[in-house]
Amino acid sequence: MLFQIFDAFKPRLHDSNSKVNQVALETMHKMIPLLKDNLSPVINMLIPAMVDNNLNSKNPGIYAAATNVIQALCQHLDNSLLLQPFCTKAQFLNGKAKQDLTEKLA
């Protein structure tokens, strides 16, 4: 069930319409504290969708929402669940996104 929900939700996290993208990130931010470690089965699918393009976005609303999502993940999920997906993404990011994710890893 969780996979079906997030398979449908994931494309909104990197939608070409910036308003849809931002609302999806803000919604994800609200869901993380509610779902917490129950997100573990889908975390490897969600992190790339939340990080790709969003942490390097020139749109301040999208960047802020993406940063808030990463912060919420760090606060509400077991850090061991985040280590591998964050490391993998940090290897292939550039610019501000790489810096932001590297700081979270540290």
Report pLDDT digits (tens) over 41-87.
Answer: 999 999 999 988 899 999 999 999 999 999 999 999 999 999 999 99
Q: Using CB atoms within 10 A of its CB, is residue 73 exposed (0-12), middle (13-18) or buried (19+)? A: buried
Which of helix, strand or coil describes residue 2?
Answer: helix
Q: Note the pTM of the prediction, 2 decimals.
A: 0.91
Yes or no: say if 29 and 65 are a contact pair by the CB < 8 Å rule: yes
pLDDT of residue 60: 97
Yes or no: say if 50 and 25 are a contact pair by the CB < 8 Å rule: yes
